[in-house]
Amino acid sequence: MMEINEQLMELAMDEDAGRKEEIKSSIEALSTSLMQTVKPYFEAENLEDISVDYENLKDYYYKQKYLNRLLEKV
């Protein structure tokens, strides 16, 4: 994720539409892969039936929040 942040700083110095789209797609790909880690929690009909890893959910929340901020910068 830090790599994307560095790419955004480089983009700020040198505007390039192709580079901008590449960064957006990288962020979206990371977001999709991140969603796969918590997808069972969102698809479960009853959370009592599965073991909830709250640390994993917390990591997902903060990482997704960070990715959303990066996406807003683009």
> Per residue of the chain (74 residues), what is the pLDDT tens digit?
778 888 888 888 888 778 888 889 999 999 999 999 988 888 877 767 677 788 888 999 999 999 999 898 88
Q: In whole angstroms, what is the distance from residue 18 CA to residue 23 CA?
A: 9
Residue 5 near residue 31, CB atoms below 8 Å: no
pTM tops 0.85:
no
Q: In whole angstroms, what is the distance from residue 1 CA to residue 3 CA?
A: 5
